[in-house]
């Protein structure tokens, strides 16, 4: 396996800049996730590493060696696509074995057999090897596609939303399998997704992309706890972070704040006539809220005031009825302050 480095990468398609001065470093054996919405430049970045696209500027290095102008076939990166891209006329065995029979990787049949069997066992499809690819379920086809990448034992795996076309149960099952395989093999993985659950459960580190630029890189916990922009804060968390009017915090917030954000689990609940918790900042949304929705299963309350909805986590043992009045308190030390451009502000003392 090998490390990956992207330095000052720029890629344009006509007037559109898909990747803009992008810098990334993926360590040897790291599971690194690119997270962002459609159009953020995630897949283009993956294709630049693979050699399917050539950058207009910048440098791509694999294992410390410049690969910017190296043909895709010589980069030794295995690409797993969103769609399975299997050969329908071949058996599962022959689909997995296919890369080992290419002119660049002529492998003795005995070794092919051993490697295919080992990969099939890892993916729990050893009983499907004789079947045609078209006779498989969606989850099994995606396992075959992953197996075809694994059998090569490449320097790095590049995965472009490989689980997005599967149903929720299969996605969860294959997430567990992928993480186990990567952990056991210590493979270098660069993984693209728009799904925050995939990102936070799979990644050693995450890069948040927006309009072709990296907004923040860190562990899932670092990004969740310490987002450097409002965009980043809104990429992680379910339910999503609350974004509140800065006017609610006049006198107790940040003088330059245009937005104040707080995680639902950090919102404190009290009865409509209840007192604020000790140390609560004066003047922060003292008026009662009206309950819009309450889920005992998710321990979630959605309340509203002046057209602004606020989500709060609660451990209470009964649901609140819609229309009920309550107060929501926002501990100042748990609030995040952002300026009009959405950039994080240091908390005022």
pLDDT at 164 over 90: no
Closest CA to 199 of 26, 33, 30, 80: 33
Does one domain contain both 286 and 226?
A: no
**Pick from 181, 214, 234: which residue ends a domain?**
234
> What is the tens place of the pLDDT at every residue in 207-249?
999 999 999 999 999 999 999 999 999 999 999 999 999 988 8
Does one domain contain both 122 and 183?
A: yes
Query: Can you tell me the mean pLDDT for 9-35?
Result: 97
**pLDDT at site 279:** 39
Does one domain contain both 149 and 263?
A: no
pTM of the entire predicted model = 0.89
**pLDDT at site 339:** 95
Does one domain contain both 102 and 197?
A: yes
Q: Is the dihedral of CA 21, 27, 29, 31 positive or negative?
A: negative
Does one domain contain both 328 and 184?
A: no
**Pick from 234, 253, 268: which residue ends a domain?**
234
**pLDDT at site 286:** 59
Q: 82: pLDDT confidence band, cut at 50, 70 and 90?
A: confident
Residue 282, domain extent: 240-345
Does one domain contain both 326 and 285?
A: yes
| Average pLDDT score over the chain | 90
Does one domain contain both 156 and 19?
A: yes
Kindly tell me the burial class for residue 276, based on how many C-beta atoms sit within 10 Å of its own C-beta (0-12, 13-18, 19 or more).
middle
- In sequence order, the 6+-apart residues with CB closer than 8 A to the CB of 248 are 260, 284, 285, 330
> What is the tens place of the pLDDT at every residue in 301-328?
999 998 999 999 887 777 788 999 988 9
Distance CA 326, CA 117 (A): 61
Q: What is the CATH number of the domain that holds 207?
A: 3.40.50.300
Count how many domains the chain has.
2
Closest CA to 23 of 283, 209, 287: 209
**Pick from 214, 234, 254: which residue ends a domain?**
234
Tokens representing 187? Answer: 């493979």
Does one domain contain both 190 and 244?
A: no
**pLDDT at site 138:** 85
Does one domain contain both 229 and 244?
A: no
Does one domain contain both 226 and 251?
A: no
Does one domain contain both 88 and 160?
A: yes
Does one domain contain both 65 and 161?
A: yes
> What is the tens place of the pLDDT at every residue in 237-284?
999 999 999 988 877 778 889 999 999 999 988 876 655 554 344 335
């Amino acid at each position: 396996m090998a490390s990956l480095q992207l330095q000052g990468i720029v890629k344009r398609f006509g007037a559109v800049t898909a990747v803009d001065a992008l810098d990334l470093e993926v360590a040897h054996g790291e599971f690194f996730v690119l997270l962002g919405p459609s159009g953020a430049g995630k897949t283009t970045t993956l294709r630049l590493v693979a050699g399917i696209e050539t950058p207009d500027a910048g440098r791509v290095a694999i294992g410390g060696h410049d690969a910017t102008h190296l043909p895709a076939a010589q980069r030794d990166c295995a690409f797993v696509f969103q769609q399975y891209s299997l050969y329908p006329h071949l058996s599962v065995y022959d689909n997995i074995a296919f890369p080992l029979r290419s002119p660049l990787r002529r492998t003795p049949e005995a070794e092919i057999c051993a490697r295919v069997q080992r990969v099939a066992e890892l993916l729990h499809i050893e009983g499907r090897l004789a079947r045609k690819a078209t006779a498989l379920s969606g989850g099994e086809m995606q396992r075959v596609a992953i197996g075809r990448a694994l059998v090569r034992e490449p320097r790095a795996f590049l995965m472009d939303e490989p689980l997005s076309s599967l149903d929720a149960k299969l996605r969860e099952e294959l997430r567990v399998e992928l993480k186990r395989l990567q952990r056991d093999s210590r493979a270098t993985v660069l993984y693209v997704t728009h799904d925050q659950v995939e990102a936070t459960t799979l990644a050693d580190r995450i890069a948040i992309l927006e309009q072709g630029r990296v907004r923040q890189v860190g562990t899932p916990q670092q990004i969740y706890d310490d987002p450097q922009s409002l965009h980043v804060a809104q990429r992680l968390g379910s339910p999503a972070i609350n974004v509140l009017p800065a006017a609610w915090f006049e006198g107790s917030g940040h003088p330059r704040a245009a937005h104040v954000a707080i995680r639902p689990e950090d919102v404190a609940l009290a009865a409509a006539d209840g007192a604020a918790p000790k140390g609560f900042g004066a003047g922060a949304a003292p008026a009662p809220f009206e309950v819009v929705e309450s889920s005992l299963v998710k321990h979630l309350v959605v309340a509203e005031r002046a057209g602004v909805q606020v989500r709060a986590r609660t451990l209470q043992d009964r649901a609140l009825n819609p229309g009920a009045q309550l107060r929501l308190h926002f501990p100042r030390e748990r609030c995040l302050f952002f300026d009009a451009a959405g950039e994080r502000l240091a908390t005022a003392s």
